[in-house]
Amino acid sequence: MGIQNATSSPAPSKNHIDGHHHEVIPSSSLLVVVILVIIVILLLAILLLTVMLRRLQFSRANTAASTTRRIIADTDCMFIARSTMNIAPTSDRGCLYGNSSAGGTPPPKGREVQVQVQVFTLNEAEMATNKFSEANVIGNGASGAVFRGVLRDGTVAAIKMLRPHGRYAERAFRQEVDLLSRLRSPFIAELLGYCADQNHRLLVFEYMPNGSLHKHLHQRKTLNWGARLKIALDCAKALEYLHEHNTPSIIHRNFKSTNILLDKKLRPKLSGFGLAKIGSEKLNGQISTRVLGTTGYLAPEYASTGKLTTKSDVYSYGVILLELLTGRVPIDTTRPPGEHVLVSWALPHLTNRDKVVEMIDPILQGQYSNKDLIQVAAIAAMCVQAEADYRPLITDVVQSLMPLIKNPTTNLSSNSLRFSRSPIPRS
């Protein structure tokens, strides 16, 4: 029957070729299949792209973190080395570290302070400074221009745009961000945030409306004796905080009058931490390093051998004291021979009671007592001694200056009062 049926079946159609049987597929079904295949391929491609992008981001983040670790190793920085930060370019405003510490509290020895530092985009910095307009330039340092800017929340800030000098600039930038993110003192200009967008490196600081000590001493020439003494004391406290309240000590390495900024009450804060170094816990805190800094402020042993200690900062501090006393810049080749280098010219005057009055800034006439002048001159003389070991500790300088300040109430919150040591003997 079946055979019959088979033989009686109609003649093979055009779909029966070489004995193979093919179903008829309607063209609409074929279209659906093709579309489905295309959709699957597209989905797979999107998935693959997402995975690849994620991997790329992850490897960038790792590179940034490992660069920071390399820099930390380069700076012999045990203090910093307890954590790393990631400065991968980002468009997020965020925070590197957890809780903000109360302003003015020094970090307890051996413990890390965690401070909020904002991350800004280039766009935000451009908006704050009106696209870095000339009109907003408030300073021009060796490492770049500084702009006044208003941040989104209304805060006025000083935005330092670092020149793209290559590897060293990158290192200084990361060092400054990493260090300042951990330091809080009323005597240090606060880092509000940074921007590492594409090739741009910006540091965002609290704005110091009175500019630098350099400008006040050598251009405006308006600071009176009382203001200069307070500035001298607060600058010593800034160094005391770095040297004595951090373990290992931090050596500023670029202590100079353009890095001392004045707030609206002419109280100073230290800035310019791009060259700062962490002292070694061995070798009396001494480290050997490249000689960097500013001519006229460099301690002689550091300038000639590269051996750096906290006493190098004490020498630079002595030069600042001389600037405050005399109103002269550290190097001035327009002066008569023998007076070009402030330290060499001033030293013989400093220890001579009759001569010391001759070197004082003429605009200070009648503002100081001879007793106070002799005391400050004696401190300056000790700080700029050629022999580093004979220079005082900065904490001793703080203790010696404190009794000279007529209105000490504003200094009651200082570190020095809480970490006092015996003063150096009065001369």
Ligand X SMILES: Nc1ncnc2c1ncn2[C@@H]1O[C@H](COP(=O)(O)OP(=O)(O)OP(=O)(O)O)[C@@H](O)[C@H]1O
Binding residues for ATP are 160
How far is 328 from 346, CA to CA, in rounded Å? Answer: 10
Residue whose CB is less far from ligand X, 75 or 143: 143
Contact pick of 212, 385, 399, 400 for ligand X (by CB under 6 A): 212
Does a cis peptide bond (omega within 30 degrees of 0) precede residue 248? yes
Q: Which two tokens stand for residue 23?
A: 């179903």
Contact pick of 268, 272, 293, 330 for ligand X (by CB under 6 A): 272
Classify each residue of 114-126 as buried b or exposed e, where b means 16 or more C-beta atoms within 10 Å of its C-beta. bbebbbbbbebbb
Strand partners, 206: 157
Q: How far is the CB of 44 from ligand X (least distance, A)?
A: 53
Residue whose CB is less far from ligand X, 111 or 290: 290
By the rule CB under 6 A, 139 interacts with ligand X: yes
* Subset of 241-270 contacting ligand X (CB under 6 A): 258-259, 261
Judged on CB neighbours under 10 Å (0-12, 13-18, 19+), 414 is buried
Q: How far is the CB of 264 from ligand X (least distance, A)?
A: 11
Distances from the Cα of 264 to the Cα of 102, 209, 257, angstroms: 21, 6, 17
Q: How far is the CB of 253 from ligand X (least distance, A)?
A: 11
Stretch that binds ligand X, among 140-148, 194-202, 374-382, 398-406 (CB under 6 A): 140-148
Q: How far is the CB of 212 from ligand X (least distance, A)?
A: 4
* Subset of 141-180 contacting ligand X (CB under 6 A): 141-143, 146, 158, 160
Distances from the Cα of 409 to the Cα of 213, 367, 402, 403, angstroms: 23, 21, 11, 12
Contact pick of 75, 129, 271, 310 for ligand X (by CB under 6 A): 271
Residue whose CB is less far from ligand X, 205 or 368: 205
Among positive and negative, which fits the CA dihedral 347, 261, 287, 182?
A: positive
How far is 140 from 147, CA to CA, in rounded Å? Answer: 9
Q: Residue numbers of the site for ligand X (CB under 6 A)?
A: 138-139, 141-143, 146, 158, 160, 189, 205, 207-208, 211-212, 215, 258-259, 261, 271-272
